Amino acid sequence: MAELIAVGVERWPVAGSFVISRGAKTHVDVVTCIVGDGLHRGRGEGTPIYYKGEDAEGCAEAIRAFAARGPFDRASVNAGMTAGAARNALDCALWELEAQAGGQPVWALAGLAEPVAMATAFTISLGEPDVMEAAALRAAAAGYGLLKCKLTGEGDLARVGAVRRGAPDVRLIVDANESWGDLDIAAEAAALAALGVELVEQPVPRGQDERLYDVVSPIPFCADESCQTAADLDRLGMYQAINIKLDKAGGLTEALRLAEGARVRGQVIMVGCMLGTSLGIAPAFLAAQDVRWVDLDGALLLAEDREGALVAEQGLLRPGSLWG
């Protein structure tokens, strides 16, 4: 059993700005916590899910309130807390604590493969086509072979076309961020397929997923906002893929459960992230070792990161010494 040692809120600046259809961010606020058993300590970080109404101070208070009940472990945390950033931070801290106490790395404790460097997507923020084209050119020059374009439901084909001109040889995926509710989804997907796009994230708003059942698309659709925990999987048969994010799932424990459930149902897996430091990305890095699409650039988009951070070299993300 563990006790809470510390909980806090930190603000980290974004390198430039991060723009999606819902707006621009110049910083990210994260909640952090440290847990201990008297001999060992574990650390965790969560980024509040804005579309669930979370904020960092509220997440910190949720951690304090749960910890005030008395000693806890991963089972009690996952049973007693709602999925979200607060539970993610606490769950991941407990994974590290258990690993430290057992004298083994987290990946071994979880029964996962030893982590190796992986190619990660790099996000091209929403902007005018020429701006996105220039960003794609820079990302490709830096060695990124998989780019993710943020879309808005208006002018998307021009934006993706510009990205393709800037980086003609990369793989492309797009994130519609629920913005295709009023569009001809099949026509949009067919046009994007002609530009070499291989995946469309969350084309319709959460709650309107049934619209995808009758859509004939050459590109698989990936549930993001619609897929948060394993409990969502039974109603998501219209999606060929799911995006697992630890902040949505509420921790590494639920993320692994979600991945197993998706595999059983034949759905392809992406592991993604929110903006955050490498302390928050490192647990997802372990869960992403054997998935189709890795989208873990959340710390790479910040102006600075923690000591011992994951390292990106020529588009490959390599494990650091920060966590686990």
**Residue numbers annotated as active site:** 150, 245
Q: Give the whole-angstrom CA distance, residue 313 versus residue 157.
A: 30
In terms of Cα–Cα distance, which of 232, 209, 16 is closest to 126? Answer: 16
Q: Which residues contact 149 (CB under 8 A, 6 or more apart)?
A: 124, 132, 159, 160, 163, 172, 173, 174, 175
Q: Which residues are registered as beta bridge partners of 208?
A: none
313: β partners:
316
Could you tell me which of 61, 71, 65 has the C-alpha nearest to residue 3? 71
Helix orientation angle between 129-141 and 156-166, rounded to the nearest 10 degrees? 30
Q: How far is CA 274 from CA 245, 295, 310, in A?
A: 8, 10, 15
Q: Which residue has the tokens 């993604």?
A: 272
